[in-house]
Amino acid sequence: MDANAAAGSESQDATRAARELIELLEVLWERGKDLVPSNPVSASQLRVLYSLDREEGINLRTLGELLGSTPPSVSRLCDRLEALGYVQRTASPVSRRELELHLTTHGRTYLRNLRAKRQDALQAVIAEMTPSERKALLKGLTSFQDALDETGPVPRRGAAGDDARSA
């Protein structure tokens, strides 16, 4: 097997392993969501909360671009989150025709509790790894995040998302 074929095979193996890991993390994430006593939100609504946590004060159009969603879909998601008390729309100081989206204290508390439960679940798994395995995991995740920052589909303008590296 030549070097190109070996690299392609390694890439496929890494992709398959990452997909399987993501599927397991989704199960773990759902367990964490069930442990948060506050109103659980859908996966789409959670993406909105994460986006607003990173991009405080953005408008619906920008949120739609971040999520890859249509304006009506984004508006409905925000309506539901506003009804739950997680999101607040305020007038933009720049344009009277625009609204800014902000997480409320209740929304921030929900995210903080959810992240804490999920971090606890991850910590329990990672604690079972050897120190060298944890080091390799950190190196791999850091490299993955760097590659995602370079080419990824998740634009990151603010520094708030950087705490994901330390989690």
Q: Please give the average pLDDT of every successive group of 10 residues along the chain, which has 167 residues.
A: 67 83 78 62 91 92 92 93 94 83 95 88 90 92 86 51 37
Please identify which residue in the block is written with the tokens 């773990």: 28
Q: What is the set of domains in the chain, with CATH numbers?
A: 36-166 (1.10.10.10)
Output the pLDDT for position 157. 42
Output the pLDDT for position 31. 67
Output the pLDDT for position 101. 94
Output the pLDDT for position 2. 66
H or E segment at 90?
A: strand 87-91
Output the pLDDT for position 161. 39
CA-CA distance, 63 to 74, in Å (whole number)?
A: 7
